[in-house]
Copies of this chain bind each other. A is one copy, B any other.
């Protein structure tokens, strides 16, 4: 009778093994579903397919909450099937993006630390069904997550029913990596006791009432690999500017040569900048971050990094193979926590994190747009960038100074969408240089950004805009409102931000 005895250790639960199609019947039209998965890691693999299949043949629309983005084209599949009425708190899929921007799918773009708190506090409707990928179920019925934790702990704790996808493709060696902790209910919540990156404060599994486990589906499918591009000359130049700045902070006595815990946003630029730290003289580094990417393991292998706390692994194919093959070697230097903890404002402020995130664009006063192309069309979402930026010791944004072969400047007069404002942004870096905005008033910030971050092709036009805004309008933050978005409208009309070039 015993099936998968090493993976399902509460014997009575083997009765719950069923097919994805059967399990999918637990989800009814109009329900809220909480699903594992964070930045293409550890998502449920079979239920999304089964639910999408149902949505093609019957009226089935759900609110889908995950950790973050899903791999294996599942967001595309679900969006195109018509399954998704509402989606939160993050995505990065081209197919879903199209449905969001056309208004078909209502997308709630949230700080990734907020969703669990909002579920707990009643600001969001409760989750009806949780669908969680696991590599094992403990003797107590606890769920051992796989390559991400995301919001799964909160989904498991709050949902009426739980469907577990037991994925045999994930090695059991993942067990022990996770640290599951729930902030207490308010009022009378105690402090979260975490005071260093490597500290464990919770359980290695998600504790749930086994009676809520309504179905177990066996899968055997790997995560998608990350799609980040390799470092290049521009990203190394950004890293070099950042290293030089951090060396000055060390020399000034603001931190030691081990710096403070590092956070790096998901994606090519932030990963490449972290990779650039391989060329630095810093040592004994630590990470308290959200997604652990290739650069984390490159820094481990180079002896630069001592410990990394994250919420998920998102790795290239070659790095994934390397990490899985050497998991025992890395295991005592790694921990995966719920995104509420990896991104928690209390912890970010307490540890004094150096947060490095990627800007889509920023403006001359240091306001950052992370999400909206032309201020209207969603790219991926805010992710954890705000969680870290708002409370970091140093809030740093990086981007290449131009895009689309030089037609677009990543520095603009005014961002048409503001995800992080001038009050929260300390340092901006492009391959051109670094702007240290700390303690500067807006007019001073503008001149530093123009001098250090704007590409030379755009610098004269930017200086001209700023000078005319000061001369003709003035104020704390000079702008010419009728012209503030002209670079964006030029781009739309002529294909170049400066118009007919």
A86–B375 contact, CB under 8 A?
no
Q: Which of A468-496 contact B (CB under 8 A)?
A: 469-470, 473-479, 481-482, 484-485, 488-489
A118 to B101, CA, bound (A): 40
Interface 0/1 of A340-356, CB less than 8 Å to B: 00001110011110000
A243 within 8 A of B: no
A405 within 8 A of B: no
Of the listed stretches A220-228, A266-274, A435-443, chain B binds: A435-443
A111–B489 contact, CB under 8 A?
no
**Smallest Cβ-Cβ distance to A381: which chain B residue:** B476
A426 within 8 A of B: yes
B196–A187 contact, CB under 8 A?
yes
A267 to B412, CA, bound (A): 35
Q: What's the nearest-Cβ distance from chain B to residue A381, in Å?
A: 9
Q: What's the nearest-Cβ distance from chain B to residue A188, in Å?
A: 6
Q: Given A186-B350, A349-B345, A350-B346, answer yes or no on A438-B118 (Cβ-Cβ < 8 Å).
A: yes
A102 within 8 A of B: yes
A118 to B393, CA, bound (A): 8
B476–A109 contact, CB under 8 A?
yes
Of the listed stretches A74-82, A210-218, A253-261, chain B binds: A253-261
A375 to B477, CA, bound (A): 7
A195–B186 contact, CB under 8 A?
no
How many copies make up the complex?
2
Q: Which of A293-336 contact B (CB under 8 A)?
A: none
> Main SS of chain A's interface residues?
loop
Across the interface, which residues of B come within 8 angstroms of A367, CB to CB?
418
**Smallest Cβ-Cβ distance to A480: which chain B residue:** B376
A125 within 8 A of B: yes
Q: What's the nearest-Cβ distance from chain B to residue A166, in Å?
A: 31
B86–A441 contact, CB under 8 A?
yes
A377–B346 contact, CB under 8 A?
no
Among the listed B102, B191, B374, B438, which residue makes an inter-chain contact with A123, where contact means beta carbons less than 8 Å apart?
A: B438
Interface 0/1 of A97-110, CB less than 8 Å to B: 00011110011111
A244 within 8 A of B: no
A189 within 8 A of B: yes
A169 within 8 A of B: no
A443 to B105, CA, bound (A): 11
A394 to B260, CA, bound (A): 31
B121–A393 contact, CB under 8 A?
yes
Interface residues on chain A, size class: 35 or more
A481 to B192, CA, bound (A): 44
Across the interface, which residues of B come within 8 angstroms of A193, CB to CB?
191
B195–A190 contact, CB under 8 A?
yes
A241 within 8 A of B: no
B376–A478 contact, CB under 8 A?
yes
Q: Given A101-B476, A192-B191, A195-B191, answer yes or no on A421-B421 (Cβ-Cβ < 8 Å).
A: yes
A200 within 8 A of B: no
A443–B195 contact, CB under 8 A?
no
A254 to B123, CA, bound (A): 8
Among the listed B121, B345, B372, B438, which residue makes an inter-chain contact with A390, where contact means beta carbons less than 8 Å apart?
A: B345
A423 to B419, CA, bound (A): 8
Can you identify 12 A-B contacts, CB atoms within 8 angstroms?
A: A107-B441, A107-B476, A109-B476, A114-B423, A121-B393, A122-B253, A123-B438, A186-B352, A187-B260, A190-B195, A346-B346, A417-B477
8 more CB-based (< 8 A) A-B contacts, given A345-B391, A376-B478, A416-B479: A106-B443, A108-B439, A122-B253, A123-B393, A186-B352, A186-B393, A371-B476, A378-B475
**Chain A interface residues (CB < 8 Å from chain B):** 86, 88, 100-103, 106-111, 114, 117-118, 121-125, 186-193, 195-196, 249, 252-254, 260-261, 344-346, 349-352, 367, 371-372, 374-378, 382, 386, 390-391, 393-394, 414, 416-419, 421, 423-424, 426, 438-441, 443-444, 469-470, 473-479, 481-482, 484-485, 488-489
